[in-house]
C-alpha cells in the first residue's frame, strides 16, 4: 500500500490563553498555578525594570517562587539560550516566564524548549508580535540573522499588560504596526501559492480573516493610537492596536506565511546599506510586494497614505541609499535564495523586483 500522504491539511497554531488589559499581569500567577510553583523569569533589563516587581508580586501572591531570575538578555543567540537552559535546569524550574520585547521572549521560548517546560510570555512593548508564536529567531551577537527555530508548542499563556505597553516609547508601536501590516498581503500571496501547488498545508480561512481584521484595525485605529500615545493618553485605540499586533497579526502570520515583503527585507538588510527597524523595512517592502503583484492602484495608495500618516517609510531613500550593485544583490537574494520567496504565486525575476522598487520610488 502506498504511504499515506496528507492532503489539504488545515492547521492552526495558537497560544492556549491570551489576556490583555490594564493590570493584566495580575492574572500571571493565578493562570500559572497548574504549571508548578517554581518559575524561571527571563527578560531584558529595561523590561524587568518596568514590569519585574509586578511579575514577582503576581507569582508570589499565588505561592509561586521565582527560583531563577535573569534580566540580562540582550540578543537571542544560541549561546544565551544554552546558558539560560543550564540556569533553569540547575534551579529545577517548572516553567519559564519571558518578559520584554521580541529578543527576550524568543530567547525565553527557546530556553523553555531546551528545558522541556512550558513558557509564558509577558509583553512590555508593541514592536514585536513574537509573544504568542511557536518560533524563535536566532541571531549572532552583532544581530545578524542566523535561523528560525520552529518550536513544538506555543506559549501556554500570553499576557499583554496595556498599562506597561502604553508607557513604552510610541515608536515601538509604529514599528510593530509596520510588521503587522504585512500579514494580510503576505498571507494572501501564501494562500494563492498553496492553492496553485495543491500543497499539503492549506492556510485556514480563519488565519486569512485575522490578517484582514488586523489591517482593518491598523487603518481605523493606528494613527489615533500613535497620537494618543504621544500625548500620554491611553485610549481604546491604543488597546485596539495592541490587539491587532499582538494577537491578530501574530496568529495570521504564524498560520499563513511570509512572502516577498520579508524576503526583500532579508535581502536589503544583508547589503548593510539599508538602516531601519524590522517593522519599518517590512512596511516599505510590503508596498513593493503590492506593486510587484500588480494590485489595484487604490489598494496600494491606501497602504501608502496610511504608512505616511503613522510615520512608516514609503520610499527606499528614507531607509538608506544602497548602490545599484547592492540592490541587485538584495533582489537576487529575495527572488531566489530566501525561503519566503517560495511563498509567492508567480515567478520572481530580480529585474521585475528592481522595477517594482523603482516604481515605488517614483511614487504610486
Ligand atoms: Zn516580521
In this model, does residue 5 exceed pLDDT 70? no
- The span from the CA of 322 to the CA of 275, in Å, is 10
**Residues near 181 by Cβ (< 8 Å), separated by ≥ 6?**
215, 218, 282, 283, 286, 303, 307, 312
Q: Span 173-196, mean pLDDT?
A: 96
Question: Can you tell me the mean pLDDT for 108-128?
Answer: 97
Long-range contacts of 231-235 (CB under 8 A, 24+ apart): 234/22, 234/162, 234/163, 234/166
The upper half-sphere exposure of residue 272, i.e. CA atoms within 13 Å in the direction of its Cβ, equals: 3
Whole-number Å distance between alpha carbons of 211 and 313: 21
Give the pLDDT mean for 17-46: 97
Give the percent of the chain with pLDDT over 90: 90
Among the listed residues 136, 155, 190, 160, the one whose alpha carbon sits nearest the alpha carbon of residue 342: 190
Instruction: Give the pLDDT score at 7.
Output: 73
Using alpha carbons, select from 172, 53, 30 the residue that is nearest to residue 102: 172
234 is catalytic: no
Cβ 24 vs Cβ 131: under 8 Å: no
352: left (phi over 0), alpha (psi -120 to 50) or beta: alpha
Element (H, E) at 185: helix 170-197
Query: Is there a catalytic annotation at residue 143?
Result: no
β-partners of residue 19 are 159
pLDDT exceeds cutoff 80 at 238? yes
Distance 27 CA to ligand 1 centre (A): 28
* pLDDT the model gives residue 218: 98
The b-or-e profile of 334-343 (16+ CB within 10 A means b, else e) is: bbeebebbeb
Span from the CA of 279 to the centroid of ligand 1 (angstroms): 7
CA 338/CA 70 separation, integer angstroms: 34
What does the pLDDT look like over 81-104, one tens digit per residue?
A: 999 999 999 999 999 999 999 999
Cell of 179: 510588521
Q: What is the mean pLDDT of residues 237-263?
A: 97
Report CA(289)–ligand 1 centroid distance (Å): 14
The pLDDT tens digits for 320-358 are 999 999 999 999 999 999 989 999 999 899 999 999 999
Least confident of 98-102, 153-157, 268-272, 324-328: 268-272
| Span 32-83, pLDDT tens digits | 999 999 999 999 999 999 999 999 999 999 999 999 999 999 999 999 999 9
Rounding to the nearest 10 degrees, give the CA dihedral for residues 336, 342, 347, 348.
-40
Using the predicted structure, report yes or no on whether residue 1 has a pLDDT greater than 70: no
138-149 pLDDT, tens per residue?
A: 998 877 778 889
- The predicted structure's pLDDT at residue 8: 80
Task: Indicate whether 2 pLDDT > 60.
Answer: no
The C-alpha angle 252, 44, 134, rounded to 5 degrees, equals 25
CA of 282 to the centre of ligand 1 (A): 7
How far does the centroid of ligand 1 lie from the alpha carbon of residue 304, in Å? 18
Helix, strand, coil distribution of the chain in percent, nearest 5: 55, 15, 30
What would the pLDDT profile of 189-232 be if each residue is shown by its tens digit? 999 999 888 878 889 999 999 999 999 999 999 999 999 999 99
* Annotated catalytic residue, options 179, 228, 237, 239: 179
Q: Are 115 and 60 in contact (CB under 8 A)?
A: no
> Taking 90 as the threshold, does the pLDDT of residue 292 lie above it?
yes
Model pTM above 0.75: yes
For ligand 1, an ion, list residues with CB under 5 A: 179
Measured over the CA atoms of residue 206, residue 212, residue 213 and residue 215, the dihedral's sign is positive
Whether 228 is a known active-site residue: answer no
CB 347 within 8 A of CB 292: no
Instruction: Say whether 221 is catalytic.
Output: no
| pLDDT confidence of residue 3 | 60
Q: What is the CA radius of gyration of the chain?
A: 20
Q: How high is the mean pLDDT of the chain?
A: 95
Among 94, 228, 262, 338, the one annotated catalytic: 262
C-alpha 128 to ligand 1 mean position (Å): 8
**Averaged pLDDT for residues 262-289:** 94
Sign of the dihedral defined by the CA atoms of residues 276, 340, 114, 28, in that order: positive
Q: How confident is the model at residue 129 (pLDDT cuts 50, 70, 90)?
A: very high
- Find the 278 Cα to ligand 1 centroid distance in Å: 7
User: 156: number of CA atoms within 13 Å, CB side?
Assistant: 17
Amino acid at each position: 500500500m502506498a504511504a499515506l500522504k496528507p492532503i489539504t491539511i488545515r492547521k492552526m497554531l495558537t497560544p492556549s490563553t491570551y489576556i490583555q488589559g490594564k493590570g493584566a499581569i495580575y492574572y500571571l500567577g493565578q493562570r500559572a498555578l497548574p504549571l508548578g510553583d517554581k518559575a524561571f523569569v527571563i527578560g531584558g533589563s529595561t523590561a524587568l525594570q518596568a514590569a519585574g516587581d509586578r511579575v514577582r508580586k503576581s507569582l508570589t501572591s499565588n505561592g509561586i517562587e521565582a527560583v531563577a531570575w535573569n534580566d540580562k538578555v540582550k540578543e537571542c543567540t544560541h549561546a544565551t539560550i544554552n546558558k539560560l537552559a543550564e540556569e533553569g535546569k540547575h534551579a529545577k524550574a517548572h516553567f519559564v516566564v519571558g518578559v520584554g520585547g521580541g529578543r527576550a521572549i524568543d530567547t525565553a521560548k527557546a530556553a523553555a524548549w531546551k528545558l522541556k517546560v512550558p513558557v509564558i510570555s509577558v509583553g512590555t512593548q508593541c514592536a514585536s508580535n513574537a509573544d504568542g508564536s511557536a518560533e524563535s529567531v536566532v541571531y549572532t551577537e552583532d544581530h545578524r540573522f542566523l535561523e528560525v527555530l520552529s518550536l513544538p508548542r506555543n506559549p501556554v499563556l500570553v499576557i499583554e499588560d496595556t498599562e506597561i505597553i502604553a508607557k513604552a516609547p510610541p515608536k515601538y508601536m509604529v514599528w510593530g504596526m509596520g510588521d503587522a501590516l504585512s500579514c494580510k498581503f503576505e498571507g494572501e500571496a501564501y494562500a494563492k501559492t498553496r492553492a496553485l501547488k495543491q500543497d499539503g498545508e492549506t492556510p485556514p480561512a480563519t488565519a486569512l480573516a485575522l490578517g484582514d481584521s488586523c489591517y482593518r484595525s491598523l487603518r481605523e485605529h493606528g494613527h489615533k493610537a500613535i497620537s494618543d500615545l504621544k500625548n500620554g493618553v491611553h485610549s481604546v485605540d491604543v488597546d485596539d492596536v495592541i490587539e491587532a499586533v499582538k494577537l491578530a497579526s501574530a496568529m495570521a502570520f504564524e498560520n499563513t506565511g511570509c512572502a516577498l515583503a520579508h524576503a526583500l527585507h532579508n535581502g536589503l538588510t544583508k547589503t548593510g546599506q539599508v538602516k531601519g527597524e524590522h517593522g519599518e523595512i517590512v512596511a516599505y517592502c510590503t508596498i513593493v510586494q503590492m506593486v510587484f503583484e500588480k494590485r489595484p492602484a487604490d489598494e496600494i495608495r491606501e497602504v501608502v497614505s496610511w504608512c505616511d500618516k503613522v510615520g512608516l517609510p514609503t520610499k527606499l531613500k528614507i531607509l538608506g541609499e544602497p548602490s545599484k550593485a547592492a540592490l541587485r544583490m538584495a533582489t537576487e537574494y529575495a527572488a531566489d535564495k530566501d525561503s519566503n520567496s517560495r511563498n509567492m504565486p508567480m515567478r520572481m525575476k530580480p529585474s521585475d523586483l528592481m522595477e517594482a522598487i523603482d516604481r515605488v520610488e517614483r511614487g504610486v
